[in-house]
Chain A
Amino acid sequence: MTVAVGYLAGKSGKSPLYLAAEAAKTLKTSLTVVTVVPRPWMTPSLGRIDAEYAQYAEQLAATSAKEAQGCIDSIAHGLEVSYHKVAHRSVSGGLLEAVDELKSEVLVLGSAADGKLGQVVVGSTADRLLHSSPVPLTISPRGYRGSKAGGLTRITAGYPGTPETLHVVERVAALAEQLNVPMRVVTFAVRGRTMYPPEVGLRAEDSILEQLATQARETLAQLKADGVIGKDVELQVVTGNGWDEALDDADWQDGDLLAIGTSPVGGIARVFLGSRGSKILRHSPVPVLVLPG
């Protein structure tokens, strides 16, 4: 068991390393830095036509490991860190292979480099993994440098209130108990857009939102009544005009982690992020843990 983190020199910064180091510390396990390099042409040939390319791949892996080591040495004292190189024609495929080989319990990825600092930005690699990873996936916001508290201080479970997503709450509750951190359950309710021409007033959607929030409150209260979560778990319904507003207003704290489930449409026990989930993900100011369905 280990925490695997995908890292490539010059790509997406050091934020996943910080998150992965924290995760390994919290889970009291080892950390493996995985670098996927392009696979050279393996066909034997007298001309060694691909020698430079193989050399380049080697060098890339070495640089990545060195960079990662430099960073990790300064933040992760006492952690058992190993470096793993995979040659694969696609980065996401390589990561999946590594996850399988290392039997890692969680895969950590960084945000793509072309978004705003502090926000989760899904790049092409993460996008594919969000629809195929067999293990939970964590994505760090761009520029994430670890929590000031030095680790996890709370887990927030995003729960839309549908029966299929109840497992998210159950798993987060188990995890929170195992790690001995507080937990909260949040339902995000987003206002529908105003219809034009507004034959029944410009505020018709407000009452829908209110009703949605009321129902969500009842569903959340039911979680406690059913004993799915403990009595001290914080429950919250956050409403907003859009996903960005709702996510902004959810009162995040230092060291928070947002856990969301994935759509049941995908394969069995795979991460397959739904449309709502990807909206939540993209607007989250804290690292997001995506659990397989």
Chain B
Amino acid sequence: MTVPRVSLSQQLLRRRPVAGAPVAHGASDHLKRSIGTFQLTLFGVGATVGTGIFFVLSAAVPEAGPAVLVSFALAAIAAGLSAICYAEMASSVPVSGSTYSYAYTTMGEFVAMGVAACLLLEYGVSISAVAVGWSGYLNKLLDNLFGWQLPQSLTSAPWDATPGIVNLPAVLLIAMCMLLLIRGASESAAVNTVMVLIKLGVLSMFIIIALTAFNADHFHGFWDKGMAGITTAASMIFFSFIGLDAVSTAGDEVKDPQKTMPRAIIAALIVVTSFYILVAFAGLGTQDAAEFGSDKQAEAGLSVILENITGGTWASTLLAAGAVISIFSVTLVVMYGQTRILFAMGRDGLLPSMFAKVNPRSMTPVGNTIIVAVATGILAGFIPLTWLLDAVSIGTLVAFITVSIGVIILRVREPNLERPFKVPGYPVTPVLSVLACIAVLYGLRWQTWLVFGACVGLVLLFYLFWGRHHSALNAGGADGYIPTAVPGDDDVMFVAEPKDHHFVTKHEDEP
């Protein structure tokens, strides 16, 4: 590997040029500017709802008491503001992908690696957290249907409140998703719609049944846990708003983005938040806040509440079945996202090239998928759920803060850049977004910060010792940019193409 002749600071701040990166082209032409407000709202609701609401209450209510309703509102505001900032970033930087790609294009390699660490934490841990939640509902479903459930030792992590050996269903779920992703399966828009309907259906059923057993006495001592409890709960709940940023990535395909984007984000947020708050409100009305944290409800909490109310199992079975089906699809989608982020990093040379290796037989990044599955499988099998929820939120929040700051940086540095969507109320909105995220972050436990610091630190160390020497932006680096392979384009090869040929655009305009 050639020794880079640029200084360290130049390396840390160098940005990926937009040219050479895949710009809008034929592949998604049919999607181009075709999404309206309604569709985009559905899109956002679909991506967001149901990730965490099925199991977040049992973790959050003990922290905040009935005031968990306020926590939901706080988390929703933080998520909404961030999503709007995210939308500007996505529309002004014509690269495909995630926060990582935006950070790389606008704020340089070092920040990009930091963001990547946050995303690895967010996606990796949320796959595990969702899988652990799935395991609880699966067990509940088995119990209701067959009167038999997996033994405690096979459904709990070693460091759970009631320790077991391994959370087997969670590991199996991840293995199933891995096989599907290797085969090249993907969830279509139609399947996604069905999943949304299932999720909203079972949640509506929960709300209606729970409201029949409503007792206002359970809301006594609303503020007892105080502000600290509320923010702690909000930071856990924030996890259940992940996915709202998916709306922002559709920026290029949206009709009249300046109007559509904020409307859709806000509409999706209102729908999702009302659902969450209604679920929390209805749930709180049925039982004492302290009961949410009980052993019995730690897993499959919503199902257990329904069982207590109806005295029978049919409603609880329906809810558990809905959760088992829809959480499966959530795991698949999030795991897919994780592999594609690692893939992008592999192509940029910041991770070993094996992450960017596509298997010619299955036409999917097989090695990458297996690594993700093994890592998340270990997390899901051995780490308790509450820990996981916290770690997901911190990664997401820091990534969102970076994006909001990035919007400000980009406005200052490149004021003339064409932005199909601009944040309304700039500069107040991005600043508010940062503040809201910080407020939610404030509630996290110190252990979570430790995990987060260790994760980001490790990734940045990896970057300093390995990534910056292998980055595709290094002159003569092994992986240069390649010309975009537009689907349908013939690409006849030169007879004598130099082996180390690459197309990294020289960018003299860089500092």
Name A's B-contacting residues (CB within 8 A).
Answer: 160-162, 187, 189-217, 219-221, 231, 234-241, 245-246, 249-251, 276
B365 x A198 contact (CB < 8 A):
no
B495 x A231 contact (CB < 8 A):
yes
CB A41 to nearest CB in B, in angstroms, measures 48
A197, B249: Cα distance in complex, Å: 10
A187, B334: Cα distance in complex, Å: 31
Task: Judge whether B140 is part of the interface by a CB distance below 8 angstroms.
Answer: no
A237, B490: Cα distance in complex, Å: 7
CB A212 to nearest CB in B, in angstroms, measures 4
A212, B486: Cα distance in complex, Å: 12
A204 x B493 contact (CB < 8 A):
no
Chain A residue with the shortest CB-CB distance to B30 = A241
CB A241 to nearest CB in B, in angstroms, measures 5
CB A164 to nearest CB in B, in angstroms, measures 9
CB A293 to nearest CB in B, in angstroms, measures 14
As a 0/1 sequence over residues 321 to 355 of chain B, the CB contacts with chain A under 8 angstroms (1 = contact) are 00000000000011011001101100100000000
Q: Please give 17 more A-B residue pairs, beta carbons under 8 A apart, in addition to A206-B96, A214-B485, A237-B493.
A: A191-B487, A192-B363, A193-B186, A193-B188, A195-B337, A196-B46, A197-B192, A197-B246, A199-B336, A200-B98, A202-B253, A203-B27, A206-B27, A206-B487, A215-B360, A231-B495, A250-B490
Given the known inter-chain contacts A203-B96, A217-B493, A220-B493, please indicate yes or no for A211 contacting B27, CB distance below 8 A.
no
Chain B residue with the shortest CB-CB distance to A263 = B361
Given the known inter-chain contacts A203-B28, A239-B488, please indicate yes or no for A208 contacting B365, CB distance below 8 A.
yes
A279, B493: Cα distance in complex, Å: 25
Interface of chain B residues 137 through 184 with chain A (CB within 8 A): 184
Task: Judge whether B237 is part of the interface by a CB distance below 8 angstroms.
Answer: no
CB B357 to nearest CB in A, in angstroms, measures 7
CB A226 to nearest CB in B, in angstroms, measures 14
Query: In the complex, which residues of chain A have a beta carbon less than 8 angstroms from the beta carbon of B341?
Result: 200
B336 x A197 contact (CB < 8 A):
no
Query: In the complex, which residues of chain B have a beta carbon less than 8 angstroms from the beta carbon of A160?
Result: 360-361
Query: In the complex, which residues of chain A have a beta carbon less than 8 angstroms from the beta carbon of B52?
Result: none
A207 x B361 contact (CB < 8 A):
no
Ranked nearest first, the 10 interchain pairs of A and B with the lowest CB-CB distance are A197-B47, A203-B96, A161-B360, A196-B192, A199-B337, A213-B485, A204-B340, A212-B358, A201-B249, A193-B186
CB A69 to nearest CB in B, in angstroms, measures 42
A208, B249: Cα distance in complex, Å: 18
A126, B186: Cα distance in complex, Å: 31
Query: In the complex, which residues of chain A have a beta carbon less than 8 angstroms from the beta carbon of B492?
Result: 234-236
A232, B179: Cα distance in complex, Å: 41
A246, B486: Cα distance in complex, Å: 11
Query: In the complex, which residues of chain A have a beta carbon less than 8 angstroms from the beta carbon of B486?
Result: 239
Task: Judge whether B290 is part of the interface by a CB distance below 8 angstroms.
Answer: no
Given the known inter-chain contacts A207-B343, A208-B364, A236-B493, please indicate yes or no for A197 contacting B358, CB distance below 8 A.
no
Query: In the complex, which residues of chain B have a beta carbon less than 8 angstroms from the beta carbon of A213?
Result: 482, 485, 491
A162, B253: Cα distance in complex, Å: 36
Task: Judge whether B245 is part of the interface by a CB distance below 8 angstroms.
Answer: yes
A162 x B361 contact (CB < 8 A):
yes
A210 x B482 contact (CB < 8 A):
yes
Query: In the complex, which residues of chain A have a beta carbon less than 8 angstroms from the beta carbon of B31?
Result: 202
| 14 A-B interface contacts by CB (under 8 A) | A160-B361, A196-B191, A200-B96, A200-B249, A201-B90, A201-B96, A202-B250, A203-B28, A203-B97, A206-B484, A210-B484, A238-B491, A240-B487, A241-B487
CB A282 to nearest CB in B, in angstroms, measures 18
Query: In the complex, which residues of chain A have a beta carbon less than 8 angstroms from the beta carbon of B253?
Result: 202
Given the known inter-chain contacts A192-B184, A194-B28, A215-B360, please indicate yes or no for A199 contacting B487, CB distance below 8 A.
no
Query: In the complex, which residues of chain B have a beta carbon less than 8 angstroms from the beta carbon of A250?
Result: 490
B336 x A195 contact (CB < 8 A):
yes
Given the known inter-chain contacts A197-B192, A201-B249, please indicate yes or no for A239 contacting B491, CB distance below 8 A.
yes
Task: Judge whether B262 is part of the interface by a CB distance below 8 angstroms.
Answer: no
CB B240 to nearest CB in A, in angstroms, measures 15
Number of A-B residue pairs with CB-CB distance less than 8 Å in the complex they form: 170
Chain B residue with the shortest CB-CB distance to A218 = B499
A207, B365: Cα distance in complex, Å: 11
Query: In the complex, which residues of chain B have a beta carbon less than 8 angstroms from the beta carbon of A194?
Result: 28, 186
Given the known inter-chain contacts A199-B245, A200-B249, please indicate yes or no for A215 contacting B358, CB distance below 8 A.
yes
Given the known inter-chain contacts A197-B46, A202-B28, please indicate yes or no for A162 contacting B96, CB distance below 8 A.
no
Query: In the complex, which residues of chain B have a beta carbon less than 8 angstroms from the beta carbon of A205?
Result: 27
Given the known inter-chain contacts A162-B361, A208-B343, please indicate yes or no for A249 contacting B490, CB distance below 8 A.
yes
A201, B119: Cα distance in complex, Å: 14
CB B40 to nearest CB in A, in angstroms, measures 11
Query: In the complex, which residues of chain A have a beta carbon less than 8 angstroms from the beta carbon of B356?
Result: 211
A203, B334: Cα distance in complex, Å: 16
Pick the residue among B192, B243, B485, B495 that contacts A210 (CB under 8 A).
B485
Query: In the complex, which residues of chain B have a beta carbon less than 8 angstroms from the beta carbon of A199?
Result: 47, 98, 243, 245-246, 249, 333-334, 336-337
A276, B46: Cα distance in complex, Å: 33
A190, B358: Cα distance in complex, Å: 12
Interface of chain B residues 7 through 41 with chain A (CB within 8 A): 22, 25, 27-28, 31
Given the known inter-chain contacts A199-B245, A199-B333, A249-B488, please indicate yes or no for A210 contacting B22, CB distance below 8 A.
yes
CB B162 to nearest CB in A, in angstroms, measures 33
A202, B336: Cα distance in complex, Å: 12
CB B252 to nearest CB in A, in angstroms, measures 8
Pick the residue among B189, B360, B364 that contacts A196 (CB under 8 A).
B189
Query: In the complex, which residues of chain B have a beta carbon less than 8 angstroms from the beta carbon of A214?
Result: 482, 485
A241, B337: Cα distance in complex, Å: 20
Query: In the complex, which residues of chain A have a beta carbon less than 8 angstroms from the beta carbon of B485?
Result: 189, 209-210, 213-214, 237, 239
Task: Judge whether B307 is part of the interface by a CB distance below 8 angstroms.
Answer: no
A245, B490: Cα distance in complex, Å: 11
Query: In the complex, which residues of chain B have a beta carbon less than 8 angstroms from the beta carbon of A212?
Result: 358, 360, 363
Query: In the complex, which residues of chain B have a beta carbon less than 8 angstroms from the beta carbon of A187?
Result: 360
Chain B residue with the shortest CB-CB distance to A274 = B361
CB B84 to nearest CB in A, in angstroms, measures 17
Q: Which of A160, A210, A235 has the most CB of B within 10 A?
A: A210
Task: Judge whether B43 is part of the interface by a CB distance below 8 angstroms.
Answer: yes
Chain B residue with the shortest CB-CB distance to A235 = B493
Chain A residue with the shortest CB-CB distance to B47 = A197
B488 x A245 contact (CB < 8 A):
yes
A239 x B358 contact (CB < 8 A):
no
Given the known inter-chain contacts A192-B363, A212-B358, A220-B493, please indicate yes or no for A201 contacting B98, CB distance below 8 A.
yes
As a 0/1 sequence over residues 386 to 412 of chain B, the CB contacts with chain A under 8 angstroms (1 = contact) are 000000000000000000000000000
Task: Judge whether B414 is part of the interface by a CB distance below 8 angstroms.
Answer: no
Pick the residue among B47, B344, B489, B490 that contacts A207 (CB under 8 A).
B344
A209, B184: Cα distance in complex, Å: 12
CB A261 to nearest CB in B, in angstroms, measures 12
Query: In the complex, which residues of chain B have a beta carbon less than 8 angstroms from the beta carbon of A239?
Result: 485-489, 491
Chain B residue with the shortest CB-CB distance to A250 = B490
Q: Which of B46, B249, B334 has the most CB of A within 10 A?
A: B249
Interface of chain B residues 466 through 511 with chain A (CB within 8 A): 482, 484-493, 495, 497
